Every structure is written in C-alpha cells, then in structure tokens.
Amino acid sequence: MPDPLTSFVALVGQRSLQAVREVGYHAALLVEAFYWLLFGRWRRQPVRLSAVFKEAVGVGVNAIPIVALASFAVGMMLAIQGIYTLRTFGAEGQVVLGISLSVTREFAPLITGIFVAGRSGSAIAARIGTMQISQEIDALRVIGINPVRYLVAPLLAAMLLTLPALTILSDLIALFGGALYCAGELSLPMGIFFDRSFEVLVADDVIHGVLKSFIFAVIITLIGTANGFNVSAGAEGVGQATTRSVVLGCIGIILADMVFTFLMSR
Amino acid sequence: MNASDLAIDVKNLVTHYGTRKILDGISFQARQGEIMVIMGGSGSGKSTLLRHLLGLHQPTSGSISLLGKDITQLSADAMYDLRKNMGVAFQGGALFNSMTVGENVELPLREHTRLDENTMRIMSRMKLEVVHLAGFENLMPSELSGGMIKRAALARAIVMDPRLLFFDEPSAGLDPVVSAELDELILILRDAMNMTIVVVTHELESAFKIADRITVLDQGRILMSDTVAAVRASDNERIQSLLNRTPRNEAINPDEYMERLTREIF
Amino acid sequence: MDIKIEDWPPFKIVRLCGDVDLHSSPRAREAILDCLKLKAPLLVELSAVSYMDSSGVASLVEGYQTAKKQGLEFGLVAVAQSAMNVLKLARLDKVFPIHASIEERLESA
Ligand SMILES: Nc1ncnc2c1ncn2[C@@H]1O[C@H](COP(=O)(O)OP(=O)(O)O)[C@@H](O)[C@H]1O
Ligand SMILES: [Mg+2]
C-alpha cells in the first residue's frame, strides 16, 4: 500500500495538473471566440448580429428587473449602515461620499456580476451541456458550423455589451436607493444627494467599475460555456455542470475583483 | 475497383479513447452509390468508427479518404468544403431544440449557401415531403415522436443533396413498421440521388434488406467486409453467432482472467 | 451553367444547359422569374441539363407557382434523367406539366 503522504502529494499534483489544464482550456476558448468575432467573416463564418442581439436580450435585458431590485436594496443597505457607522463620529454628512464611491467602484459591478453569473452562467452551462449529450454539438460540427463561433462568440459579445450597461444601471439605482433612505433619515433632499454624489465622483470611479464588468463578462461566459462543453455523462452531468458554473463563476468574479482592486489601488 | 470511384476508403485505422484502444486496423471501402452497412454487437466500436468517418475525432493512425480526400490530413477550410457533400443523421436525431423542424432543415442551407429565402424554404419543404413530414415544419422537435425525429433528422441530412450520407442506428427504438419505412427511404434516396450511404445498425433484418455490402465489426476489429451474400454464407464463428443471435462463448485464458480480476490488488 | 432565352410565340423558352446546382440555380431562378414578368407563357427546356439538384428544382417550383398566380402557363420540356430523379423523389413529376419537346407542346395547342 502507498503511504498516505505520497498519495496526498499525488492527489495534490493531479488536482493542480487538472486546474492548469482547465485554465488552458478557458484561455484557448477565449482566444477562439475572439478570433471568430474578429475574423469570422473572412473564414466565411461570420458571427451573426442577430445571434448577438438575441443573447443580449437573454443575458442582459431580461436581467434588468433582478439586478435593479438587488442594486436598490444594496444602495439602501449601504445608506443604513453608513449612517449608523458615521453617526458615532458625528459625520453623517459624509455618507454620500461613502455610498457613491463604494457603489460605483465595488458594489454595482459585483452585484451585477454575481446575479448574471447566477442567472445566465447556469443557463449557459445547461444549454450547452444538453446540446452536448444530445449530440447537437456534433451535429453543428458535421454541418460545418464551428460550435465556438456559433455558441460562444455571440454570447461573449452580448456579455461584453450588456454587463457594463447593467453595471451603470446598477450604479444609478443603488444611488437612488441610498438617496431615498437619506431623504427619510437625514431629511436630505434627493436632488442634493445626487448633486453631491456627482460632485465627489470622478469619471475614474465609474470607469473602474465598468472595467471590472468587462472582466466579469469574460469570466461568466468562459466558465459557463466550458462547463457545458465538458459535460459527458447524461442528465446528471448537466446538473453538475450548472452547479459548477455558478459556484466557479461567483468565486471567479470575487477573486478577480480582489486582484483587480488590489492592482488598481496601488 | 478504380480508386477514383471510391467514395470511402479507410486504411488501417487505429483509434484510442484515452489509453484504451477502441478500433484496431480497420480497412474498408465503399463505392459511389453503394449502401454500406456497418454491423456489430453493442460496444463493438460502430459509433466510434462513424465519429471518425465524420471527422469528429483525430485517429491515432491510419487514413480516411472521403470522396478522394484524406480527412485526417485536410485543412480546416478544405474540410469545411467537404462537409457540404456530407449529410449525417444521428442516432437520437440531434435536432436543435431551440429551432422549429423547418429551421433545423434549413440550417445547412443558411450556413453554406446564399440562396434566395424562397428557394431555401421550398428546398427544405421538399425534403420534408420526401420523408413524409409535410406540414410539420412549424413544430418544435419536442413535439415530435421518435420516428418523426429520425425522419426530420434525415431531411436535414439530405437538404444539401450530399454525395455521402451517414445514418446512425436508423431503426433503434422504433417499431418495425416505422423502421421498415426508413429502410425504404434509404433505398429510394440512393436510387434517386446516387448517394453513397453508410448505415450503422445492429438490426440484421434491416441490414440485409438495404445493404450492398456489410462490414462486420467485433471488439474493434473487422471480421468481414463483403457483399450481403458472402456475409450470410460466412462460416466465421462470431459472424454466425451474430446472425443467429447466440451469446458469445469465448475460450478462457485462465492467467489473463485471474489478472483481470485481481489487477491493482496484489 | 448556360441560360438561353428564346421566343417561340406565344411561348418564351428558358433553356438551361449544364449543371444546375447550388451555385448556378439562383441565375436560373432569376431568368425564369424575369421571363414571367413579361406575362408570356413559359416553357423551361432541360434536355441539356447534365445535373440538377434540389435548389434547381426549387427554382422551378417557385416559377410554376408564380405563373399559376398570374394565370400563365408553365411547363417543363425534355426533362433529363438526373433532374427527373430529383423531381420524382419529391413526387413533383406528377405536378409539373411535362412535355417531350417544344414542338409537341406547340402542336397540341
Ligand atoms: N467517449 C468515450 N470515452 C471513452 N470510451 C468510449 C467513449 N465512447 C465509447 N467508448 C467505448 O468504446 C467502445 C466502443 O463503443 P461504441 O463505438 O459506442 O460501440 P457501439 O456503437 O458499437 O455500441 C466501448 O467499449 C465504449 O465503452
Ligand atoms: Mg452505438
């Protein structure tokens, strides 16, 4: 029998190898999707605008209600927490600054990313996974349709278009939530709240959030599609892939957020 | 047999899944206009062979020539062109579930041609007529029965008038009447269009009815590739047991058997 | 593929020669539909067709339906075997008026 330490090391080695392989697969998928987006028409296989539009409705437009609701709640929560904390210093007036910066730089992109990952990441993995086990992916290939061009590229484009837009929407609605609470608690007119907010915010803050949303868009698309393509065993496999794509998608987003924030604030 | 009228020419094909050898030294040929049936028990490698013929996997070694082109060496663009001459009906149909039956049948035309919208509509409806599915083009695949799905898949496979048609298990899971109808269709298609048709099946009756030649696979090797009469007359034990449906009864090698049972334990 | 358009009063004749396939059938379709715009009865002559696929047949179907709507005659003449096979496959040989030759159609008038 092999001793526990050796087998533990072997296990760690295997897992790392698998992780590296997976990262490699994602990278290749990303490169290929961009390739088709940019050069598809020269290879006689253009990425159809109608497909991008359809995906954009699915992942973006349909996500508006839930992202709006979550953003509103987060804005309000930040106001409640901010006023409660700042009151101990007698600095409630600073709450506008706190809300504005944390919403645009951190919360709006994060909330949007997490919700879209939960909503669409799972749906993408389920759709592609189901297509994989019903041989629809093979059918695409034998017809001569590259599955990455047909399924991944339009989705990637749609995500890159809609996630930043959703993030900006989330910015506005979260600020509105914060303003509403401040109006009640501090008798601060909403007009004044927004005036002050736009005074402290510089373009950089909003861009910071939007840049993150581009990264999240890539992460959600790649993790969802890759997990879908790798489904091999039946309905159970599809179930695992959807779960995996949501969990990995959310973790990926949070880790990327941390790294990005760290790098940008140095 | 003249090399130029060989529609399919497989030489010494060897394939693996991971480290497991699945096909071993497969060679066979089919002429233009011939119906070649690939037979064999479950797990003998029929589907694997088909997937290689379709260019869905790269073999370990050997060559596969379709219409005079070796698909193991072909560039992506040349393969894309070749695919216009290939039609495939998968075992489960592999219709795209998000599209209507009509859209499914039209898809190859949309991807490969610049025909007028009306022409494409008429062409796809003509093919639905051929498979006796007239008037079903607006239904979704989920609204079709098993036999209808196979026929719709066949309509999609022949919409481009391919010179090569591949059909995986046409009769699996169908009642005898419906599967006899499909056999009839295969014969009509060959006669009208001079297609070369490869049918994978484990149904003897259907095989003998439609085949010009039969290739018998057993555990990844070819037992025989010959005319129907020759296969019927063969005195090979495994072929006879396939024909007579007797369970296999192999000689046991005691050492190998013990090794299989106790591998990785001692 | 070559297309020749001839006048055999009162008929217009569209003569298709060579391969009528995915590449060339759009031109055949256009020629047929253009002729029908002249409001003349139309015969499509197919004796020199070496190969016709379903896109060619689809063009004939569209032409026939267009002619019918305008109350114009539409017929096929001297259908070559390969084209006939495709017509038969979709049972269209029982739908199109098919004549052995142009002269035959003219005499029967
Ligand atoms: N995706 C796969 N990965 C690993 N092994 C496979 C895979 N597909 C098939 N096999 C194995 O290959 C062998 C041949 O399978 P298959 O070609 O499906 O046989 P058949 O179609 O004749 O029933 C079987 O032993 C099967 O377990
Ligand atoms: Mg099989």
Q: pLDDT tens for residues B4-40? A: 678 999 999 999 998 899 999 999 999 999 999 999 8
pLDDT at B234: 84
> Does the structure show a pLDDT above 50 at B1?
no
Mutate which: B32, B84, B113, B116, vs C, most C CBs within 10 A? B116
B48 lines ligand 1 (CB under 6 A): yes
How close, in Å, is residue B13 to chain C by CA atoms? 34
pLDDT at B3 over 70: no
For the ranges A22-31, A68-77, A257-266, B253-262, the one whose mean pLDDT is highest: A68-77
Please write the tens of the pLDDT for every residue from A223-238.
999 999 999 878 888 9
3-state secondary structure of B19: coil
Under DSSP, is residue B10 helix (H, G, I), strand (E, B) or coil? strand
**Which residue from B14, B16, B17, B200 has its CB within 8 A of the most atoms of ligand 1, so it is best to mutate?**
B17
B-chain residues near A2 (CB < 8 A): none
This prediction has a pTM of 0.86
Would you say residue B253 has pLDDT above 90?
A: no
Q: Using the beta-carbon criterion (under 8 Å), do B115 and C91 form an inter-chain contact?
A: no
* Interacting residues of B129 by C-beta distance below 8 A, sequence separation 6+: C90, C91
Give, to the nearest 10 degrees, the angle between helix B117-130 and helix C54-69.
110
Q: How many beta-carbon contacts under 8 Å exist across B and C?
A: 54
Quick one: pLDDT at residue A72?
Answer: 96
What is the pLDDT averaged over residues A111-126?
94
Q: Where are the beta strands (DSSP E) in chain B?
A: 6-17, 20-31, 35-40, 61-66, 69-70, 86-89, 164-168, 196-200, 213-218, 221-227
Whole-angstrom distance, CA of residue A208 vs CA of residue A103: 11
Non-local (6+) Cβ contacts of B42 within 8 A are B202
Distances (CA, A) of B17 to A19, A186, B39: 21, 69, 21
pLDDT band at A161 (very low <50, low <70, confident <90, very high): very high
Which secondary-structure segment (H or E) carries B188?
A: helix B176-193
The chains found to touch C (3+ Cβ pairs under 8 angstroms) are B
Decide: B40 in ligand 1 pocket, CB within 6 A.
yes
Q: Are strands B20-31 and C42-52 parallel, antiparallel or unpaired?
A: unpaired
Task: Tell me if the bond preceding C10 is cis, omega within 30° of 0.
Answer: yes
Q: Which residues of B touch A (CB under 8 A)?
A: 51, 54-56, 77, 79-80, 83-84, 86, 88, 90-92, 94-97, 107-108, 111-112
**Residues from chain B contacting residue C83 (CB–CB below 8 Å):** none
- Burial per residue of B222-233, b for 16 or more beta-carbon CB atoms within 10 angstroms, e otherwise: bbbbeebeebee
CA of B139 from ligand 2 middle (Å) equals 28
**How is residue A156 written in tokens?**
């990637």
Residue-wise pLDDT tens digits, B147-168: 899 999 999 999 999 999 999 9
How far off is chain A from B63, nearest CA to CA, in Å?
19
* Rounded Cα gap, residues C92 and C69, in angstroms: 18
* pLDDT score for B249: 64
* Average pLDDT along chain A: 91
Q: pLDDT band at B56, cuts 50/70/90?
A: very high
Percent of chain B surpassing pLDDT 70: 96
B42 CA to middle of ligand 2, Å? 7
Contact A195, A2 (CB under 8 A): no
Residue type (1 letter), A162: T
Which residues of chain B make contact with C89, given a CB cutoff of 8 A?
130, 188-189, 192-193
> C29-84, pLDDT tens digit by residue?
999 999 999 888 999 999 889 888 899 999 999 999 999 999 999 999 999 887 88
CATH number of the domain at C2-107, out of 1.25.40.10, 3.30.750.24, 1.10.150.530, 3.40.640.10?
3.30.750.24
Task: Provide CB contacts within 8 A for A202, sequence distance 6+.
Answer: none
